[in-house]
Amino acid sequence: MHCTRKIDDDIIYVGADNRRLKLFEAVYPVPRGVSYNSYLILDEKTALIDTADRAVTDVFIENIEHTLEGRDLDYLIVQHMEPDHSATLIDVLLRHPECTVVCNKMTFDMIRAFKGMEVKALTVKEGDKLELGKHAITFISAPMVHWPEVMVSYESLTGTLFSADAFGSFGALNGALFADEVDFDRDHLDEARRYYCNIVGKYGMQVEKLLGKVNTLDIKRICPLHGFVWREKIDYYVNKYMLWSGYKPEKQGVVIAYASVYGNTENVANILACRLRERGIECVMHDVSVSWHSSIIADCFKYSHLVFASMTYNGGVFVNMENLLHDLAAHALKGRKIALIESGSWAISAAKGMREILSPLKDTEFISDDITFKSSPTEGIGEAIDALADRVAETM
Ligand SMILES: Cc1cc2nc3c(=O)[nH]c(=O)nc-3n(C[C@H](O)[C@H](O)[C@H](O)COP(=O)(O)O)c2cc1C
Ligand SMILES: [Fe+2]
Ligand SMILES: [Fe+2]
């Protein structure tokens, strides 16, 4: 049976939740599920905005057919060809051969490449308008937010921005379509940040460009392709996006991420955390072998200072730390203050390896000499840790 919600009388949510997916994009754990959002506009003409993942095909198709009540589907607007939003495109078109796909040229080519067929399409570009009756949609290109073909769509009657992957979040909706139906800041902001930083975090400049374009519009609602619809306190979320896309820390504080096999490096990380707290400095700790790397990366976006501590492992950086740092570098984080701690028992080289991976990051500053210890921390290391805690305090 169908499972839909009204955004208003003419715009209906026809997407669906998936709580069985273990890894989004085959890498990000989503224990709270994910939603694949799709929206149907009913006017003189009907228009579906994006489709959904294969996992939710049955209910998604039921939702569309129930909402159309036997009407034709005139348009299918394809904003993004990533299969979490386009896997069921052909399923929709087979049921609605009358439907015209509305997309840009790059998307048109991607449909051919992904689906092995050409579809009846109206190709649009930046600024083009699609009249549906009372509703009219203007297309705005948003390349690399998250793929190169992405465009977003602004519906002018209701001030609705259909924002593709931008303004999305991990987490199933669980019946609550609107962000104002939940305590977003308390219960969902962390997952929204983890989504942003890991999915689109690399493309801060392109997100800023999109924010610049949509800032000129009168936006009353934001309808993303994952997560909640925003109709209240839109500024709150847009402001978060401005911080994240500009790689600006939300908080002064320290992320301590450590790699430790036998506990000595962990011990030093814990001592540093105590010294920071004694100075009134907020810090979060992650064992890189335990925490999801996507959560560590999200915290690295959130906080101003990052301390990475690794034991030396087979002549280099411990493997999980190495992976994390490569991932962080790939996400192009910038503007952070960094310190490194290393240990080893015979040829210590972890800090050198960490520095090499992190040095391409722009506007980063290594705020202290690396701290090195052999096998286990001795009393002498206390001074170095105190000095690092002082440096962190000075540079906040
Ligand atoms: C598999 C393995 C490989 C290691 N490779 C090196 C190495 O190449 N160079 C070195 O100086 N120490 C090496 N070590 C020693 C550790 O880096 C060292 O004992 C460190 O202090 C352990 O810190 P932890 O107690 O935090 O795990 C290795 C240890 C293990 C378990
Ligand atoms: Fe995407
Ligand atoms: Fe997506």
Q: What CATH number corresponds to the domain at position 237?
A: 3.60.15.10
- Rounded Cα distance, 1 and 333, in Å: 45
Q: What CATH number corresponds to the domain at position 302?
A: 3.40.50.360
How many domains, the chain?
2
Residues 294 and 384 reside in one and the same domain: yes
- Give me the phi and psi of 237, to 5 degrees please: -80, -40
The pair of three-digit structure tokens given for residue 282, joined into one six-digit string: 């907020």
- For 188-215, b/e burial (b = at least 16 CB within 10 A) is bbbbbbbbbbbbbbbbbebbbbbbeebe
How does residue 380 score in pLDDT terms, banded at 50, 70 and 90?
Answer: confident
Residues 241 and 319 reside in one and the same domain: no
Query: Which of 266, 313, 352, 376 has the most ligand 1 atoms within 8 A of CB, as the residue to mutate?
Result: 313
- Rounded Cα distance, 96 and 313, in Å: 58
Residues 262 and 211 reside in one and the same domain: no
Average pLDDT over residues 158-165: 97
The pair of three-digit structure tokens given for residue 124, joined into one six-digit string: 């649009």
How does residue 208 score in pLDDT terms, banded at 50, 70 and 90?
Answer: very high
Kindly give the residue spans of alpha helices, DSSP state H, lying in the chain.
57-68, 83-86, 89-95, 105-115, 184-187, 189-195, 204-214, 234-245, 264-278, 293-302, 319-330, 350-358, 381-394
Residues 347 and 288 reside in one and the same domain: yes
Å from CA of 225 to ligand 3 middle: 6
Residues 118 and 148 reside in one and the same domain: yes
What are the pLDDT digits (tens) for 290-331?
Answer: 999 999 999 999 999 999 999 999 999 999 999 999 999 999
What are the pLDDT digits (tens) for 75-127?
Answer: 999 999 999 999 999 999 999 999 999 999 999 999 999 999 999 999 999 99
Task: Give the closest residue to 214 by CA, choosing from 266, 271, 160.
Answer: 160
* Domain closes at, from 217, 245, 273: 245
Confirm if 78 and 101 have CB atoms less than 8 A apart: yes
Confirm if 189 and 183 have CB atoms less than 8 A apart: no
Average pLDDT over residues 232-259: 97
- Rounded Cα distance, 209 and 391, in Å: 35
Å from CA of 147 to ligand 2 middle: 6
Residues with CB under 6 A from ligand 1: 260-266, 311-315, 343-348, 375
Could you identify the atom of ligand 1 that is nearest to the CA of residue 346?
A: 11
- Rounded Cα distance, 102 and 75, in Å: 7
Average pLDDT over residues 13-22: 98
Confirm if 12 and 42 have CB atoms less than 8 A apart: yes
* Domain closes at, from 194, 221, 245: 245
Residue 37 Cα to chain centre, angstroms: 15
* Average model confidence (pLDDT) across the chain: 97
Residues 212 and 127 reside in one and the same domain: yes
Residues 221 and 275 reside in one and the same domain: no
Q: Hey, what amino acid is at 310? A: S
Residues 186 and 317 reside in one and the same domain: no
Query: Which of 258, 261, 271 has the most ligand 1 atoms within 8 A of CB, as the residue to mutate?
Result: 261
**362 by DSSP, 3-state: which?**
coil
Q: Which domain holds residue 42?
A: 5-245
Relative to the alpha carbon of 263, which ligand is closest? 1
Residues 188 and 290 reside in one and the same domain: no
Confirm if 287 and 315 have CB atoms less than 8 A apart: no
| Residues 6 or more apart whose Cβ sits within 8 Å of residue 237 | 167, 179, 192, 222, 230
pLDDT of residue 379: 85
| Residues 6 or more apart whose Cβ sits within 8 Å of residue 198 | 28, 294, 297, 298, 331
pLDDT of residue 234: 96
Residues 275 and 235 reside in one and the same domain: no
- For 311-342, b/e burial (b = at least 16 CB within 10 A) is bbbeebbbebbbebbebbeebebeebbbbbbb
Residues 23 and 161 reside in one and the same domain: yes
Residues 263 and 181 reside in one and the same domain: no
pLDDT more than 70, % of the chain: 100
Confirm if 192 and 165 have CB atoms less than 8 A apart: no
Å from CA of 156 to ligand 2 middle: 24
Relative to the alpha carbon of 142, which ligand is closest? 2
- Give me the phi and psi of 4, to 5 degrees please: -125, 165
Q: What is the DSSP letter of 171?
A: B
Confirm if 40 and 52 have CB atoms less than 8 A apart: no
Q: Is 90 exceeded by the pLDDT of residue 33?
A: yes
pLDDT of residue 42: 98
How does residue 74 score in pLDDT terms, banded at 50, 70 and 90?
Answer: very high
* Domain closes at, from 188, 214, 245: 245
Could you identify the atom of ligand 1 that is nearest to the CA of residue 268?
A: 26
Å from CA of 150 to ligand 2 middle: 9
Å from CA of 195 to ligand 2 middle: 11
Average pLDDT over residues 70-74: 98
Q: Is 90 exceeded by the pLDDT of residue 338?
A: yes
Average pLDDT over residues 277-294: 98
